[in-house]
Homo-oligomer: A and B are copies of this chain.
Amino acid sequence: MALEKIAGVRAAARDVEPFVADLFKAAGVSAESAEACARALVDASSRAFDTHGVRLIPFYMQGVTGGRINKTPTLTVTEKAASAVHIDADDGFGHFASYRAIDEAAKLADKTGVAVATVGRSTHHGATGCYTRYAATKGYVAIGMTHADAMVVPHGGAAAFFGTNPLSFAVPVEGEDPLLLDMATSSIPFNRVGLRRATGTPLPEEVAVDDQGHFTTDPNAAVWVAPVGGAGFGYKGSGLAAMIDILCSAFTGMGHGKTMASFNGPDFSKPIQIGHFFILLSPAMFQTLSMFDARISSFVEDLRAQPGKPGQTVHAPGDIEKVEAKKRAVEGIPVDNVTWAALEGFAAKLGVKVPSSTVDAV
C-alpha cells in the first residue's frame, strides 16, 4: 500500500478514539456499538490503513442519521455446530458484530482447533484486518473476509458484479506485531478513480474499465474498477472475489454483492444486510506452540533477508504499515482537512469536545 501525504492535522490516537465514540454516542448509538466502531477506525488509522480509518466517520454518520445503521442493535449469537457460530448483527455497526465474532470463534477454536464465525444482517465493518489482527493478538491465526456492493467487473465483464471483497490474514509473530495481509481483490478501490479525476492524473494500466468494459487509464472514462490481475490474469482476482462473495452470502444467509443497494447511497435509510466470514485456527492444537512460533519467526526473517531489486527491500505482509504505525504512535494519526472539518461540524452540532490537534504540513 502506498502511503499518500495529505493536508490535514495530527491528533493522538488515545484522544481520537474516545472522541469518535462520543460522537456516535451523542448521535444515539449504543455505547458498545460506538466504542467498537471507534476502536476499529482508530486502529486502522494508527496502522496507516487510512482508506478505512477515521475518514469513514462522515460515511457512517450518514448511515446512522439516515436509518441504515441500527443505533441500538442486539447481537444474537447462535452456535450452529461445535466449530461454527453465527452472529446476527441486527443491522448495527459491522465493527461491533465483527469483534464479537472473533471472541465467539476463539471460544470454539480453543476446543476444536478451528472455528468459523459467520456474520449476517451486518453493515460495513471498516478494515477487515482489524478483526483478524485482533484475533492474532489473542494468539490465533485468522482469515477474514467481507463482501460489499458491486463496484468491480468480473473478468471479461462490462458491468460491476463484485464488491472490492477484501481478504485478510493475520498471524501472531513472537516479539512483534502480527503479520497482517489485508487486501482488496480489485487492484484499486473505486475512490482512487475519484482522486485521479480530482487531480487530473491518469490511472495505472488495467485497473479500471469504461462503460463497455474496456480497460481505460482515463479517470473520467472509468466507471468500474477491475479485479487484481488485469487484462491477462484478472480471472484470478475475479475468482477470489467470487469465493469471498459466496462465503459471505450463502453461509450467512445474505444475498450476493450484486443484490445490495449501493453503499454510497443515495438511499441511506435501508439496512444493507451484508455478511462477513472469519476462520480462526488455534496453532497449539496443530503443532507445539514453540515449534509453530519458531517456524513463523524463521519465515518472516528469511523473507525479509531476501535480496531486493536495486533500491528496494523485501517486506513481510504488513511491514510497511508497522513502521508507519510506530511513527504515528509518536506523532499522532493524520486526519485530512476535509474529514477533520466534518468531525468538528459533528462535534459542534452534537455538543462533543474536539481533542487537541496540530497542523500536519504536507
A interface residues (Cβ-Cβ under 8 A, vs B): 1, 80-84, 86, 111-116, 118, 141, 143, 154-159, 161, 167, 169, 171, 179, 181, 183, 187, 204, 207, 209, 212-214, 228-230, 232-233, 235-240, 242-243, 245-247, 249-253, 255-256, 258-259, 279, 281-283, 285-287, 291-292, 295-296, 298-299, 302-303, 306-310, 312-317
Contacts and interface: CB of A to CB of B under 8 A. Distances in A.
A171 B303 CA distance: 33
Contact of A256 (B84, B230, B258, B298): B298
Given A81-B285, A83-B112, A187-B229, 11 more contacts: A82-B113, A83-B113, A84-B112, A187-B236, A212-B310, A228-B237, A246-B296, A246-B299, A250-B287, A251-B292, A255-B295
Contacts of A80: 113, 285-286
- How many copies of the shown chain assemble into the complex? 2
A172 to B, nearest CB: 11
A43 B281 CA distance: 31
A309 B215 CA distance: 10
A306 B161 contact: yes
Could you say which of A159, A239, A256 has the most chain B C-beta atoms within 10 Å of its C-beta? A239
B212 A249 contact: no
B233 A187 contact: yes
Contacts of A187: 229, 232-233, 236
A291 B120 CA distance: 14
